[in-house]
Structure formats: structure tokens, C-alpha cells
Amino acid sequence: MKSQFTLLMASLGALSLLGVATRDASADDFYNGKTIRFVVGFAAGGGYDLAARIVGRHIGKHIPGDPTIVVENMTGAGSLIAANYTFNSAKPDGLFVGIWNSAYVLRQALGDKAVRLDARKLGWIGAPTKGTPFCSIMAHTGLKSLKEIVAADRELKMGATGPGSTYDDMPQILNRTLGTKFKVISGYEGTGTILVAMRRKEVDGGCWTWESARTTARPMLDAKGDDRLIPFAIHSRYPDPEVKDLPLIPETIKDPDNLSAYRTWSGTYEFQRPFSVPPGTPKERLQTLRKAFAATMKDPEFLADAKKSKFDETYVSGEEIEKYVTEVLAVTPKAKELLSFLMVKPKK
């Protein structure tokens, strides 16, 4: 009787181990022969598209089964269409990855009804970059520092694409927190057209991210005389000579409520161009993608490709993104009130 019991327990143990092995093998084998779609909310040729394609060229070999990666562009409404599709329509099978503007997490916090998602329920894989908002002014204005700009007794025109962009939001935030006198001129198609407008003296400056400006605006940063673009404030410390000694915006905002509002707004810059999967995606597949993403960020071939493409890699893990999302969505009523102007489309 004792030997029969021992045999039974051994058999059950073997079956249990077999079940674990089968589940592990299933997790490892799922992606074998599969295709993963990277769906980008912006047009080909931009920073989001570049991030998706660089990661896509290298992540497959870090996923068990070496699946094929294809990049698709689902443009519209500043990537809001792709964001809503990721949350509401994409199949949660681990074969769909959405890549769209993290600013919609803030928009969710502010109660934007057009944002039909709950960022807490998405599966965050990781982000290849952080963003460092900064502001700049053209030398032809005769101004060169934040102190001079705050003290200026005239309106300064800042080029912008539209609401929700750094170009549009940052000048308005500085008006409300530091007393600058910026007038936002919206409607430009992108960085290139805004830089042209600066050179033509249609606008006096602009605010976007230093990661982009350090390459896209390089000729103007190196220019002499009136054609020179002068950075005058930045979100956080950056080692490049042009900005390493600039005033840090969070340190210049003294009012606690204003600072809280600014930190809420800037929170989504801690995870730029994030990769996410729809709610309900199996946890083991999310973990597989997270591990592969982390491995890709250390891959020498990926890093060489990023350097060649002038793409700054500053890895943010999926777990870190979850924390940032929680912080942004915990916006205080006062900060929400102070940021409510972001929900109003400016008049032309």
C-alpha cells in the first residue's frame, strides 16, 4: 500500500513538472513563425517611425521563435487614432504593438473625452527614449536669456504645430508660470517648417525637445549673427555645450501649485515613443516582449544602428512606465485646473 502511494505521488509530481514544462515550451514557441505588427501613430520619416523601425530591425532575434516584425503607419489626430485603436480594437494576442504619443496619458488625466483609453490597463513594453523639453529664441530678437525674455516688454511669437505638442503647450505654460509674453502661432506642419519660419523672421522662437533640436536645428545652433538659434531654458540637465548651463524650468517655477502642474505636464516626457500592447494581452507574452525590448536596448548592433541614424537611446522599462502613468493620472485638482487651458483649442 505504501509503495502504491509513493508511486502515485511520483506520478503526480511528474505530471506537474510536465505541465510546467509544457506551459514554458508553449510560451517559448508561441512566436515561432509569427509576425508582430508595430503600428505607429505618425507618418513615415518622423521620430516615432524611426524608433519603431530601428527597434523592429533588431528585437526579433531577442524573442524566442525569432518572429518577423513589420512596421505599419496608422496616422491621424497626432496619433490619437492609433492610441484609441490600440486600446479598443487591436487583438490582445501579443502580436500587436502600438506606438503613439505618451501625451495622451496626460489628456486622459485631464478628462479629454476624445481619448478613449485607460493607460493603467495597457501593457507597457518599454520606451526607447525620454524627452527633454527646451525653449529657444532667435538672435534677431536681441534677446539671449530667460531673464531677458521674462523682462521683455513686447510679445514674442513662438512657432507651433497644434494643441498637445511641446511647441504649443510649453510657451503657454511659461506664460502662466513665469510671466513670459509668448504668442503661439499654430498651424505649421512640423519642425522643418517652423525652423524655416524662424529664419524668415515670421516667428521669434520655439519650444520642442532637445533630443530633436540637437540634430534637426544643428545648422542654426552653429550659425552666427541674426540666424543663430539660442536655447534659453530646459527641463532637465543635458551634457551638450549649448544647454548644459541653462536654467532648469522646474527650478525657476516658485509657486508650488504651478510647479505641481508643470511636473504633471512634463511627466509623459519621461517615456517618449512608448511601445504598448492592448489590455488583456497574456502576461507571459508581455513579459517576453519586455525582456526582448530590454535586450535590444543593449544590443551592439542596435546601438550602432541608432548612432548611425542619430537616434538617442535612453531606455525606459515597462515597469518604470507604469509608475510614471500612475503619477500622471494622480493629478491634483489644482494642477488639473491650472492645466485646463490645454484642453481649449486656441483661436486662430
pLDDT band at 4; cut points 50, 70, 90: low
Say yes or no to pLDDT of 303 above 80: yes
Over pLDDT 70: what percentage of the chain? 91
pLDDT computed for residue 191 by the predictor: 81
pLDDT, tens digit, for every residue of 48-102?
Answer: 888 999 999 999 999 999 999 999 999 887 788 999 999 999 999 999 999 998 9
User: How do residues 20-33 score in pLDDT, each as one tens digit?
Assistant: 444 444 556 899 99
Asked if the model's pLDDT at residue 9 lies above 80, the reply is: no
The type of residue at 23 is R
Chain segment 232-270, per-residue pLDDT in tens = 999 999 999 999 999 999 999 999 999 989 999 999 999
Per-residue pLDDT at 271 exceeds 90: yes
CA distance to 54, 101, 199, per residue, from 41 (Å): 16, 8, 30
Q: Where are the alpha helices (DSSP H) in the chain?
A: 2-29, 47-59, 80-88, 103-109, 146-151, 166-178, 191-199, 210-216, 218-221, 249-252, 256-266, 283-298, 300-308, 318-329, 333-338
Interatomic CA distance for residues 199 and 214, integer angstroms: 17
pLDDT in the model for residue 348:
44
Please determine, for residue 143, whether its predicted confidence score (pLDDT) is greater than 80.
yes
Selected from 3.40.50.1820, 3.30.530.20, 3.40.190.150, 3.30.360.10, the CATH number assigned to the domain covering 31-130+271-331 reads 3.40.190.150
Strands, E assignment, 65-172: 68-73, 96-99, 123-127, 133-138, 156-159
Mean pLDDT of the chain: 89
Name the pLDDT band for 296 (thresholds 50, 70, 90). very high
Tell me the per-residue pLDDT of 311-342, one tens digit each, with 9 for 90 and over. Answer: 889 999 999 999 999 999 999 899 999 898 88
Task: List the chain domain ranges.
Answer: 31-130+271-331, 133-267
CA 278/CA 87 separation, integer angstroms:
5
Using one digit for the tens of pLDDT, what is the confidence trace for 173-204?
999 999 999 999 988 877 888 999 999 999 99
Tell me the C-alpha to C-alpha distance, in Å, between residue 234 and each of 137, 207, 303. Answer: 12, 9, 26
pLDDT surpassing 60 at residue 18: no
Specify the CATH superfamily of domain 133-267: Periplasmic binding protein-like II (3.40.190.10)
Same fold, 31-130+271-331 and 133-267: yes
